[in-house]
Structure 1
Amino acid sequence: MSRGRQVLLLRHGQTGWNAAGRFQGQTDIELDDVGRRQAKRAASHLARLSPSAIVSSDLLRARATAAALAAQTQLEVAVDVRLREVYAGSWQGLTTTEIDEQTPELRQAWRTGADVRPGGDGETRLELGKRVAEAVREHAEIIDPGELLVVVTHGGSISNGVQTLLGVPREYWPVVSGVGNCHWTVLEQQRDARWVLTEHNAFSLPEDVVGDES
């Protein structure tokens, strides 16, 4: 059976702010030494899948992660601002402890998956999911069925963009886990244009499902 288009959404490598538990949002933070090693290791795995195209968020941590894969595949990296992480407003730059202390009720609502504005002036999960899904759909159109697009982006962008693409009802979004640094999620487009989830928060090469209902 022939495959449909595949999209692999790769989270960027670790930054110093990740390691410190600091909310990055759209603040433009570079990879740290651990993150650069993660990006290189992920690239060595994913190059074996022979992707046809790479597109990245414009933020430095994503672009550096994409560059590691580009070096392995000799592909050019397209850049799309819509793949940025959530804009977290006044929370950007604060640690989780500081956010808990300064805005405890709002923080608890965000943590439990409510569609509130982070920091009171940030971007909702629905807004984030809509722009990321729009970007992924457009870039997926440039590849043929059976080919793979790698989208290098951010944890929140993956979680919310994927669920938008899958059509998951908003109230069920909190049941899906996040994505680790340089881990990935894979979607495949069906003949009827629906997207299905085939891998989530993975760090090993995807394998075909055999006899899933037998």
Structure 2
Amino acid sequence: MNLMLKFITIFIFFISCKERKQNEEEKQSENLVKKQVQLQQETNVETKDSIQVFYISYDSIKSNTTEKISIINKGLLADFKGYKFDKDPNELRDLKKIREGSKSKGFLKTLARDFKNKDFLEVSSVHYSYIVPEDNKGSSHISVEQWDFKDPQKAKSCFESLKRYNEVEIYFKTINWIWVHQGNTIFLVFALDYQVTDKEMQRIKQEIINVIKPSGEYQTVQFYE
């Protein structure tokens, strides 16, 4: 009888432990799901209220310039949104090519060659975003870039070259470029489907000026073919 009682007691204890463990696992699972939902909600809010900023560094020593593209993007959110490279399968491949070209300084090398100024190769880092008007109906992206130089004189040298664009033979099929210079930073706005005189491009230019104007003097130049 005592043996049977011990057996029943052990069995009940075993069942109790198993149920308690199962309840704890279910509770942990519920907490994990709640955290995942919360994280997803936070991610959605962040994606909705911001435009992604990409970054490329060409130097192990980061420049002292503060990244301003995210501030510029915030001021543009009422009229623009981040461009999604998902309209067709080729766009992701095109995005990869753009990034690879940026990492290899392809565009900077072409500018250095065309303007005969190697200072373009002295860019130490680039912050950039791809945007389109909020009511976009099929146009390609507009690029907004911030080029940082360690030496302000190098940035000034490049901008002075850009100001003489009408004296230079530039080898690009499409040129719609807006340039803004301040200190050791040059901002670039360019697009394939918009001319620099279009309201969309001018809106972005003005937002750049709004952000940098409190920091001091600046210069701008724009041209297209």
- The question of a shared fold, defined as TM-score above 0.5 by the shorter chain, is answered with no
Which structure dedicates a bigger proportion of its chain to strand? Answer: 2
**Structure of higher CA gyration radius:** 2
